[in-house]
Amino acid sequence: MNYFKEAVENVKDNVNASSLHKYMAQLREKKDPEEIVLLQKAMDMTTDGFREMIRELSPGMSEYQAQAIVEYHAKKGGSEYMGYPSICGGGANSCVLHYTYNRKKLDAKELLLVDMGAEYHGYTADITRTLPVDGKFSQEETMIYNLVLAAQNAGIDQCRKGKGFRDAHHAAYEVIGKGLVELGIIKEINEANKYFMHGTSHYLGLDVHDAGTFTALQSGVVMTVEPGIYIAEGSPCDRKWWGIGVRIEDDILVTESAPIIMTAALPRTIHELERLMAEDF
């Protein structure tokens, strides 16, 4: 706990809001083993809820009913609260970044974007999956989904000790930029921010957007990797893409060696998701 010693020494001499913020950010950025245990529990409760929701999802269900399935199983597993307002948006709502109204009825041909996290003993998970309501991704949805998945894998690969905090974002952005150019949706890579308009990562812990220094990654850092592509109706591209909003979000532990996907229990590939949706129960 070098940070803690340093924080105590410095705070004794110079207590002010900005130095306290800096030292608290250092303390919270790197998780102790006990914190990682609590985070893993919150994530496991969340993945259990997502798995049940994915199996039960069907046309005619409302957004809030899909949300309720995740929350029920998370709370059944021991979660006291959700860590942040649940985002559960179908069709055009999948393109609305902080959509939490969650009242719409879901149509068969829509995608549903679900961003939810159980909180356990103060620590929160943060997971997003995007699913076809009728259980089968269309051709256009498949192309966008696999592009986001490739971007996420590129981002996760940057979650290594010594890498910059924003390296995951740069890697994901480049994959999405190149892919959108290849699909004819944009002309230049630097236009990708029209459809991927948020950062790829944040720290995760006591807050869903936890405190941290945004400096080089250390082992013990837990962070999200969550690229997305959101093509709202009326976007300047072929209308066959309109209404497709996809985000895939997992929670990553930076270690001394390879990144660990703490939420790997929940399927991410189209093949695995379609298989789970087709399961009888």
CA 46 to chain CA centroid, nearest Å: 12
Helices (DSSP H) in 116-242: which residue ranges?
139-156, 167-182
Among candidates 263, 178, 276, 180, which has minimal Cα distance to 226?
Answer: 263
Which range of residues in 84-92, 119-127, 151-159, 269-277 is near Mn ion by CB under 5 A? 119-127
Q: How far is the CB of 171 from Mn ion (least distance, A)?
A: 17
Per CB under 5 A, does 224 bind Mn ion?
Answer: yes
Q: How far is the CB of 201 from Mn ion (least distance, A)?
A: 8
Report d(CA 18, CA 33) in Å as an integer. 28
Q: Cα separations (Å) of 27 from 3, 7, 251, 278?
A: 6, 9, 19, 45
Nearer to Mn ion, 135 or 224 (CB): 224
Helices (DSSP H) in 121-208: which residue ranges?
139-156, 167-182
- Antiparallel, parallel or unpaired: β 228-231 and 244-247: antiparallel
Per CB under 5 A, does 210 bind Mn ion?
Answer: no
Report d(CA 94, CA 184) in Å as an integer. 21
Q: How far is the CB of 186 from Mn ion (least distance, A)?
A: 24
Per CB under 5 A, does 200 bind Mn ion?
Answer: no
Nearer to Mn ion, 71 or 115 (CB): 115
- Position among 71, 119, 126, 251 found at the interface with Mn ion (CB under 5 A): 126
Q: How far is the CB of 237 from Mn ion (least distance, A)?
A: 26
Per CB under 5 A, does 250 bind Mn ion?
Answer: no
Nearer to Mn ion, 7 or 115 (CB): 115
Residue ranges binding Mn ion (CB under 5 A) = 126, 224
